[in-house]
């Protein structure tokens, strides 16, 4: 669904539109799909605030103050208050996963986004 892998068979539709390619779909502008990796995949050289706000710092025109407020709000939504300045090495495994979840759901509230109908989809691949 996220477009990282091509389907083995069948078709993928998001918001009634067929997903054509991998990673980017021009026909579905504003599509927002967040990913949480099993290992959390946090940047170990960035603190929690920088990890959660990474996409906004890199790709939005929001002020640092607004991004900081969104990070604080999003961390509170996943049950983590006051950990913005901690480094990933200072977090438990469960906290790392919640930081990764916060990173996947933080949103630039100045942009119109489309979210898939199924709000959350869990996919597990056994190897």
CA distance 18 to 14: 6
Tens digit of pLDDT per residue, the chain (127 long)? 667 777 788 887 777 777 766 655 555 566 666 667 777 789 999 999 999 999 899 888 899 999 999 999 999 999 999 999 999 999 999 999 999 999 988 877 676 554 544 444 444 444 4
Three-state secondary structure call for residue 53:
coil
Cα–Cα distances in Å, from 39 out to 13, 43, 85?
28, 12, 21
Q: Which phi and psi (to 5°) does residue 14 adopt?
A: -125, 125
CA distance 45 to 89: 9
Cα–Cα distances in Å, from 115 out to 1, 21, 34, 105?
12, 18, 10, 11
Domain range annotation of the chain = 1-31, 35-105
Other beta carbons less than 10 A from residue 77's beta carbon: 13
């Amino acid at each position: 669904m996220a477009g990282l892998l091509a389907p083995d068979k069948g078709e993928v539709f998001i918001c009634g539109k067929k997903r054509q390619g991998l990673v980017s779909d021009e026909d579905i502008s504003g599509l927002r799909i967040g990913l949480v990796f099993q290992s959390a995949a946090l940047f170990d050289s960035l603190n929690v605030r920088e990890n959660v706000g990474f996409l906004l710092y890199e790709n939005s025109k929001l002020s640092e103050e607004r991004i900081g407020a969104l990070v604080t709000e999003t961390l509170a939504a996943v049950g983590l208050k006051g950990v913005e300045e901690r480094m990933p090495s200072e977090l438990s495994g469960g906290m790392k996963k919640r930081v990764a979840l916060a990173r996947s759901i933080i949103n630039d509230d100045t942009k119109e986004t489309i979210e898939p109908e199924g709000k959350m989809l869990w996919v597990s691949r056994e190897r």
